[in-house]
């Protein structure tokens, strides 16, 4: 993180402390940030402040993104919308998309679901079991989620069979345990041609599936087959990434080429970090 970015975050942090009442009050609200760290940043004693700490503060202080944040149609956004549209209208197998972390996948997913009816979204976590996943899928459809796992699965399949061009999007699917992940074999078998299924994950999913197939782990060869043995990598290349950063900056009121180049070099291929830099820039401009 370069000097100008730190100055922007310093300005934003000073404003945050003023709004909360004091540095001590601010430190109680900010996770992992001590009052001493705030003092060091505000007084310019930055030698022992790590880049991770700068980003941690920028991600939490008021003014970061928020309601004024404008969506940009990045390469990842466009690829996700294209793949989802195809999966929704041609529900054959499981569409597996992979991309590096912090590429704006979740934003693009929510945008697609808002624009297309009968598109349902699940964000996975490592503690999600079969029953919990089925419950979340039924809730997303606005349906009753009571009963045993078997009953919930039967109800889910029945509802989706009657839906018109439904699509289920399973985000961060690489966090699911093996038995939950391979459950999608049964779901795809029953809904083939009736309901689109899309996985989103980091490239770890590809390694995990391919390793499972190589080790002949239960269900992995079948699941890989349902995925058409294809992983669509939607991570932007260097040219796409530079254009994406410029598009995000332009959408959020930053058109100065030098500033955009600085953000490209500072955001470390991470759109969350870029969002923090944009927010800190605006806060600094507003304060001046």
Q: What is the pLDDT of residue 62?
A: 47
Q: What is the pLDDT of residue 20?
A: 73
- The residue among 216, 141, 203 whose CA lies nearest residue 173 is 203
HEC readout, 135-176: HHHHHHCCCCCCCCHHHHHHHHHHHHHHCCCCEEEEECHHHC
- Average pLDDT of the segment spanning 73-80: 96
Q: What is the pLDDT of residue 60?
A: 74
Tell me how far apart the alpha carbons of residues 279 and 64 are, in angstroms, rounded to a whole number: 5
pTM of the full predicted structure?
0.76
Q: What is the pLDDT of residue 244?
A: 96
- The residue among 280, 256, 247 whose CA lies nearest residue 71 is 247
* Position 83 pLDDT exceeds 90: yes
Tell me how far apart the alpha carbons of residues 271 and 88 are, in angstroms, rounded to a whole number: 27
Segments making up each domain of the chain, as ranges: 3-70+267-287, 75-233
Q: What is the third-level CATH fold of 75-233?
A: Rossmann fold (3.40.50)
Q: pLDDT over 70 for what percent of the chain? A: 95
* Position 64 pLDDT exceeds 70: no
Instruction: Report pLDDT digits (tens) over 241-258.
Output: 999 999 999 999 999 999
What does pLDDT average to over the chain? 90
* Position 66 pLDDT exceeds 60: no
């Amino acid at each position: 993180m370069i000097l100008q970015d730190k100055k922007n975050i310093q300005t934003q942090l000073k404003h945050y402390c003023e709004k909360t009442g004091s540095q001590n009050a601010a430190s109680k609200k900010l996770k992992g940030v001590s009052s001493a760290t705030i003092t060091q940043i505000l007084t310019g004693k930055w030698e022992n402040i790590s880049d991770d700490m700068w980003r941690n503060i920028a991600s939490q202080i008021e003014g970061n993104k928020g309601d004024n944040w404008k969506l940009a149609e990045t390469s990842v956004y466009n690829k996700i919308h294209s793949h989802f549209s195809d999966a929704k209208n041609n529900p054959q197998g499981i569409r597996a998309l992979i991309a590096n972390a912090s590429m704006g996948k979740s934003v693009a997913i929510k945008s697609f679901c808002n624009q297309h009816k009968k598109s349902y979204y699940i964000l996975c976590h490592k503690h999600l079991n079969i029953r919990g996943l089925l419950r979340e899928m039924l809730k997303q459809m606005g349906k009753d989620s009571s009963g045993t796992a078997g009953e919930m699965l039967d109800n889910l399949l029945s509802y989706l069979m009657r839906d018109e061009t439904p699509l289920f999007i399973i985000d961060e699917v690489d966090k699911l345990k093996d038995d939950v992940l391979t459950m999608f074999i049964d779901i795809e078998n029953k809904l083939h041609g009736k309901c689109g299924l899309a996985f989103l994950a980091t490239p770890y999913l590809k390694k995990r599936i391919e390793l499972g197939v190589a080790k002949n782990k239960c269900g992995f060869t079948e699941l890989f087959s349902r995925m058409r043995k294809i992983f669509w990598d939607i991570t932007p290349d260097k040219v796409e990434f530079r254009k994406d950063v410029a598009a995000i900056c332009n959408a959020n009121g930053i058109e100065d080429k030098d500033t955009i180049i600085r953000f490209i070099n500072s955001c470390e291929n991470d759109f969350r970090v870029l969002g923090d830099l944009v927010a800190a820039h605006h806060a600094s401009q507003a304060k001046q």
